[in-house]
Amino acid sequence: MGKRWMGVAVSGTKAVLVTAIEESGRPLEIVADDTVDLHSGDRAAAYKIMHDRVSDRVAHNKVDEVFIKASAWTTGMKLSHLEAAELRGVIIAAAGTSAKVHIVSSAQISKTFGARKFDDYVKDKTFWPTRVSGVKLREGSKAAALLMIAARG
């Protein structure tokens, strides 16, 4: 049996977690595609709950490595961007309690994986059938899955 990996994409007040089995020579086998929402109310308490949920998910699924989409700089950043970065930090810490964590930027993938930009792969419907099997990915989960596909080389 292959290694268990997880790809994570954080946006706003949620995290998309895609869990897969990585086995050389085979498509990435998706075993779970979930969204974890940040609780409303006190942010410190909500971050604690998110940390516990993510660390439990990583440990329960016996995930070996986690690939987290890095923050990206955009002009005109607002408070929501900073709050998403805080949440990303919580998830990085949670994943690191039982797995090796890789923080991967979309720019890095665009430079090292294939000839296209990150978002072009995410949008390309012909790319996915040969790269993944198992649970059908939701459209919003493809960015998290691409982090793992790019890690395979």
- Position with higher pLDDT, 29 vs 112: 29
84, amino acid identity? A
Q: In the chain, what are the helix, strand and coil shares in percent, each to the nearest 5?
A: 40, 25, 35
Interval 130-140 mean pLDDT: 92
User: How do residues 14-32 score in pLDDT, each as one tens digit?
Assistant: 999 999 999 988 999 999 9
| pLDDT at residue 12, as a whole number | 84
Q: Among 11-15, 21-25, 105-109, which stretch is predicted with the lowest mean pLDDT?
A: 105-109
CATH of the domain at 148: 3.30.420.10
What range defines the domain where residue 98 resides?
Answer: 3-152
User: How do residues 32-78 score in pLDDT, each as one tens digit?
Assistant: 999 999 999 999 999 999 999 999 999 999 999 999 999 877 777 78
Cβ–Cβ under 8 Å, residues 95 and 101: yes
- Position with higher pLDDT, 79 vs 3: 3
Interval 97-108 mean pLDDT: 93
